[in-house]
Amino acid sequence: MGTEDAETVAPGTCPTANGMPMLGFGTWQHDDPDQCVESVRAALEAGYRHIDTAQAYENEAAVGEGIAAADVDRDEIFLATKVWRSNLAHDDVLETARESIDRLGVDYLDMLYIHWPTGTYDAEGTLSAFSELYDEGLIENVGISNFLPEQVQEAVDICDAPILANQVELHPLLPQPDLREACENAGVEVVAYSPIARGEVFTQPEIQEVAEKHGVSEAQVSLAWLREKGVTAIPKATGEDHIRDNWESLTLELDREDINKIDSIDETDRQVDPSFAPWN
């Protein structure tokens, strides 16, 4: 499909999970402000309606400028950011969340994540602050990120506000079936960061075969595979070609043979593994 055809993949055609568009635009490592503004604008005008950032990315202001520069109404955009692990004490959550909203130049967030359940994270104190922000109308949904199955259930049990999603690394080289099942049982959606394994999916023979069969990129195959699993993906891209290529994955339908072939990959490759991660 060419660029002209990509524009016919209208925003409304993107499936949603509890109101969250299942293909979003990730902004990790978008650390050149001008490029970040342009990439966010290009993504929105290509059709994306889900934008993901974080305090730790230090680009919230540029993301906000990109949103303002795009010819898309704010109310059509699902905007998410994350509170860093050193800002998770109750009062720090309240203060830094407001700072994030100010930097983004918006009145509210569609979702605010706990970036990692480490550092100053305290389930009771942290989640009570998130619930306060929800009650004030500053956030529409609570998100958690990098939570293990038992931590997901604990957060759901404690938090007064609804927890919409757990954002984790997830791709064909790290399918995380147990975590996906735990989230489903808890009524929590799964959002995949690094959904193309930082390019590693391009080297997998199984994915190469499926991509060749359909005449698409390996990135599109990985994104379509995630969607088939009921997982929302937020791929990072900078250039407009990659932004549009990822968007076109919405038109790719994998058959059972494709899914089985990808599921048969037995290599495991976690890309994000800091020492403070809860699994370490």
Instruction: Catalogue the active-site residues.
Output: 57
Pair 82, 56: CB distance under 8 Å: yes
Question: DSSP label at 9?
Answer: S
Cα 137 from Cα 131, distance rounded (Å):
10
Rounded Cα–Cα distance for residues 230 and 190 (Å): 8
* Ramachandran region, residue 176 (left: φ > 0; alpha: ψ -120 to 50; beta: rest): left
Angle made by CA atoms 37, 234, 42, in degrees to the nearest 5: 30
Q: Give start and end residues of each alpha helix (H) in 187-265.
A: 205-214, 218-228, 240-247, 256-263
